[in-house]
Amino acid sequence: MNKRSEYALHLPEKAFTHGGKFHADDVFSAALLKLCRPDIEILRGYQVPDGFDGLVFDIGDGPFDHHAKGSPVRENGVPYAAFGLLWRELGPTLLHPDDARRFDEGFVQPLDLDDNTGCGNQLANCIMAYNPLWDSEASPDQCFDRAVEVAKELLDHKLESIRAIRRAEEEVRAALAKCRHGVVRMRRFAPWKQYLIPSKAKFVVFPSQRGGWCAQAVPAGFGTQALKVAFPRAWAGAREDELPAISGIETLRFCHAGRFLITTGTEEDAITACETAMAFGER
């Protein structure tokens, strides 16, 4: 984690947001603030109290509101909502700046866009489902607190998974340096896509959690299901008892119907499967 910004180090003890029905925007904003300062008190209401000395978000036309005319818009045209405005400030204190930018693109922006346009987002819909039902006497503030705890847990786990990818860089790059004929061999699984997709690697081989070995095809790019090289069509979805005869690989146990993953009994056979796939091409 990078050194926290001066702003993050001095988050106030209290924050204020709007009352009533809540959305993913104000819920994830509150969750983010609680990750940065667990003891922060989130207050809700319909008007910012006079003289309030805490942080105000999603209400009040301040730096973390987005309802006023001329509110900030990203260079790609996606308007900021409160979550995005807070993430812009606090995100680089929680993740490497490159990871913070990618998280904004993949996670924050869809929520901001939904809040600003109503375009629809399943995660936003799930958070909104925590609002009291029309015929419920539940307290909106208590429901908000519950939704914030859910969002906080989701956000915490997601950010930690991103940090884990960053921690894997040295190990994956060390394996990549020993790549032979497009196959990277790893002594254990570690998140590899961020580092191998831009490389010349076509396959990665690593021990399987279920015993034996896995080999996985490297995608052709980020955000695509296309593969640099797929495993042969004849293997895809075949039964375990059929695969050795079809492939000529004695311990080949499984080939995913999507042709991106196989499992074998030995590392040598996993590598052979990758070499065979490269020799077969699209057959």
Same domain, 27 and 124: yes
On the question of pLDDT at 187 being above 80, the answer is yes
On whether residue 218 sits in a domain, the answer given is: yes
Same domain, 162 and 22: yes
Same domain, 65 and 135: yes
Q: Among 3, 7, 10, 29, which Cα is nearest to 18's?
A: 29
Neighbours of 81 (CB within 10 A): 31
Same domain, 24 and 147: yes
**How many domains, in total, are found in the chain?**
2
In the beta sheet, which residues pair with residue 180?
A: 183
Same domain, 33 and 138: yes
Decide: residue 263, CB within 10 A, 0-12 exposed, 13-18 middle, 19+ buried. Answer: buried
Q: Among 236, 261, 47, which Cα is nearest to 16's?
A: 47
Same domain, 20 and 137: yes
Q: Where among 117, 147, 167 does a domain terminate?
A: 167
In the beta sheet, which residues pair with residue 73?
A: 79
On the question of pLDDT at 8 being above 70, the answer is no
Give me the pLDDT at residue 281, please: 64
Q: Where among 167, 184, 219 does a domain terminate?
A: 167
Give residues with Cβ within 8 angstroms of 150, minimum separation 6.
Answer: 127, 130
Q: Which two tokens stand for residue 71?
A: 């509110």
Same domain, 27 and 67: yes
The range of the structural domain enclosing residue 79 comes to: 6-167
pTM, 2 dp = 0.87
Phi/psi at 65 (5° precision): -115, 160
On whether residue 213 sits in a domain, the answer given is: yes
Tell how far CA 173 is from the center of its chain.
21
pLDDT digits (tens, 9 = 90+) for 216-254: 999 999 999 999 999 999 999 999 999 999 999 999 999
CA distance 43 to 17: 6
Same domain, 156 and 176: no
Same domain, 111 and 11: yes
Q: Where among 136, 167, 198 does a domain terminate?
A: 167
Same domain, 44 and 103: yes
Same domain, 47 and 121: yes
> What is the rounded average pLDDT of the residues 41-69?
96
On whether residue 29 sits in a domain, the answer given is: yes
On whether residue 1 sits in a domain, the answer given is: no
Same domain, 98 and 218: no
pLDDT digits (tens, 9 = 90+) for 16-45: 999 999 999 999 999 999 999 999 999 999
